[in-house]
Structure 1
């Protein structure tokens, strides 16, 4: 597989319409919010889950990862962190595949004393599992220690462009669960929490130097970008309403270490309200009489393409 040679930074814009993009279990599953500003939040963990699910769907027909030694493997696309997965069982496969013997006293919980053998375990996990070589993983468990891997791809929390105002919708159930419930009024009340509309922005980073350590390749990078553009199309549910990726703006550096700070590149992407075709900053006091946004066209996204730092290309993937 072709080794990743370039650093990348990217801006992801996605929207939610009449849905809950990321419920907070500590707040009755209300949409996550910054308590001081009332801006909406979507965790990086939520976004990574959607990427994992997409890769699982896209690569599901390929042969699964096997228990072969590392040198007999290509890059596989199994997902390490899956629902109800027993991670120790997956990590034990790395020991078996590489014929690494457990410690006589501490068993599989202690990494081999030889660095080369310990490295085989984490390398095997990277070669088999897309999410390990992409996001990294803490695999230093007692059941089967495979060390820790720092992933080359990192995502921030997504934050809404403007404050959100979650709505609480009351719903009723007309069917009975048990026969006893049919003796009275079987209707029960429930609630759904939605964001009528929200445009969210997240930032992402791909380190070519860390990619060298995990084996994250050019093909993996293309699959990641494909997932970021398409992941919401395969994550539909009544609770999430309509979610969609609206823009993926990528800054490509011509070297592994990069040619400009990420924050300076991100500042080139500005989002404002569309007022009769005119761009207005979201904190412009003149927006007081403008109706709340309810669709993507209520915003204008501007990208400063002029005088980009030498060695940096701007690519719009959507």
Structure 2
């Protein structure tokens, strides 16, 4: 199957305002923070937002997608689902066959059904099969890190309904844990070299590009009300080997902190924005697009 997926480098520039972009379960859901004070957003957290958006097949968002997606949602289901039946998935993969090869896998109901498995890969293993099924995905997201350290606000929430018998009101100690302000950069990579292994198609990547700008806007929560994707840069290379080093693209598109970069920022005005690549780099890539515009 011929694939027209181009190698691409992406960079999300995410502004967090009085929100918890990614709670740390090891620290009572505190916003993730490194020892140097810089905030962190895990790749798993961001991909979860994309999966949640697509999994609700009756949502207005899904209905608004181009018909080639909205009319064929049976091809864009989510594997990483809390209620997924493992045995049923193994059957869809065809791993219960005595003989199993790559062609069987690519033609299996599993590949035809699960968008996130085609795009992000999967880690299913089946005993007795010819080989294990650890498929590296075409798309990989990196860790999102804030440019400067972040201040974390921790306060208790009051509750009208009591949480203890005999009391007419209640408290949720330190339940309100948010980043006051921060600007995070999260890299991502599209590697078509693995498309033939997972069955990822050009349409799958097109859908990813439609999902990314809505990842936070359409999944807001009480503790995450204001997370803004300022830029979602998507840069296509001229060849599969990469026509420009990724790090040079990141350096050129990362906002520059004004003043003392070791002090937490208080607003977007504390940064010098980057709205394009310099000509010296633009000439080395096939195209550059901001998915949020």
When the two structures are superposed, what TM-score results if normalisation uses the length of structure 1?
Answer: 0.77
The residue aligned with 1:249 is: 233
Aligned equivalents of 1:123, 1:135: Cα separation in 2: 18
The residue aligned with 1:3 is: 3
Aligned equivalents of 2:269, 2:157: Cα separation in 1: 30
Aligned equivalents of 1:162, 1:262: Cα separation in 2: 22
**Structure number with bigger Rg:** 1
Cα separation, partners in 2 of 1:78 and 1:196, compared to 1, 3 Å: same
Structure 2: any 5+ residue segments left out of the alignment? 64-69
Work out the number of aligned pairs and report it. Answer: 277
Aligned equivalents of 1:85, 1:92: Cα separation in 2: 13
- Contact preservation (8 Å) 2:160, 2:168: no
The residue aligned with 1:313 is: 287
The Cα offsets for residues 250-277 of structure 1, whole Å up to 9 and x where unpaired, read as 221122222122112222113124xxxx
Alignment counterpart, residue 240 of structure 1, candidates 224, 231, 240? 224
Structure 1: any 5+ residue segments left out of the alignment? 66-75, 103-111, 274-279
- Contact preservation (8 Å) 1:208, 1:257: no
The Cα offsets for residues 275-304 of structure 1, whole Å up to 9 and x where unpaired, read as xxxxx36638xxx7xxx5333343222244
Alignment counterpart, residue 138 of structure 2, candidates 152, 166, 169? 152
Alignment counterpart, residue 199 of structure 1, candidates 183, 197, 209? 183
The Cα offsets for residues 160-211 of structure 1, whole Å up to 9 and x where unpaired, read as 1110011101112221357xx13x4543342211111111110010012112
When the two structures are superposed, what TM-score results if normalisation uses the length of structure 2?
Answer: 0.84
Aligned equivalents of 1:42, 1:296: Cα separation in 2: 18
Q: Does 1:168 align with 2:154?
A: yes
The residue aligned with 2:273 is: 301
The 5-angstrom pairing of residues 95-114 of structure 1 reads 95=94, 102=97, 112-114=98-100
SS in 2 for 1:219: helix
CA RMSD of aligned residues (A): 2.7
